[in-house]
Amino acid sequence: MKKTSSPITNIGSVSLLMIFIVLCLAVFSTLSLSGSLSEYRYSQKIAQHHADYYNASASASRILREIDQILHLSYDEQTEQYYDTIEKQLALLDGVEADLISEPPSITYKIPIDDSQSLRIMLALNAPDELKKGYYRITAWQEIPSSEWNGDDSLNLMTF
């Protein structure tokens, strides 16, 4: 008697291949989600920094407008005592430092951006006989650190 043979199917290898493919898809989707979340957090941090910077820049522009008005009024009222009048008027503004002795005379002020950075603005004043070019030149409008960095570069390799 002859036995009929049924076709042999290899179910185990196909199942292992499908499990491997599903596992790879799960790992890649998890990595993709993790990368997306970290990029989202980074973009939120950058957006907050830009908003803080532009708020500080707007405050700096308001102070610059006040300084411009002080310079204009000081020149119109008392041309002979121009620097003395400027010094008295700038002393009324908070955080504005005037160095009218150096050459060229300068005005500096800082606006905090956040806990770690400030916006520093430096103006170089033009001499009273050169006011056709304007009352001042902006020589610096830059972000600077608010505090000094103290790096700890010591290594405690052997402790007793």
pLDDT by residue, tens only, the chain of 160 residues: 566 666 665 567 788 889 999 999 999 999 999 999 999 999 999 999 999 999 999 999 999 999 998 888 887 776 667 778 888 888 888 888 888 888 888 999 999 998 889 999 999 988 877 777 788 889 999 999 987 777 777 777 777 6
Does the residue 154 lie in any domain? no
Domain that holds residue 128: 36-145
Residue 93: per-residue pLDDT? 84
Name the pTM for this structure. 0.72
Q: Which residue bears the tokens 């102070």?
A: 63
Q: What is the rounded distance in angstroms from the CA atom of residue 26 to the CA atom of residue 145?
A: 44
pLDDT attached to residue 7: 61
Listed in sequence order, the residues at least 6 apart from 77 whose beta carbon sits closer than 8 Å to its beta carbon are 85
Cα(111)–Cα(121) distance, integer angstroms: 8
Residue 108 maps to a domain: yes
Is the omega angle on the peptide bond into residue 104 within 30 degrees of 0, that is, cis? yes
Give the per-residue pLDDT at 129. 75
- The answer as to whether 43 is a domain residue is yes
Instruction: Tell me, yes or no, whether 56 lies in a domain.
Output: yes
Q: Is residue 160 in a domain?
A: no
Structure tokens at 156: 């405690």
- As for how many domains the chain has, the answer is 1
Instruction: Tell me what pLDDT residue 76 has.
Output: 77
Instruction: Give the model's pLDDT for residue 78.
Output: 66
pLDDT value of residue 8? 62
Instruction: Give the model's pLDDT for residue 1.
Output: 56
Q: Give the helix ranges, DSSP H, for the chain.
A: 11-77, 82-90
**Is there a domain that residue 1 lies in?**
no
CA atoms within 13 A on the CB side of 134: 8
10 within domain boundaries: no
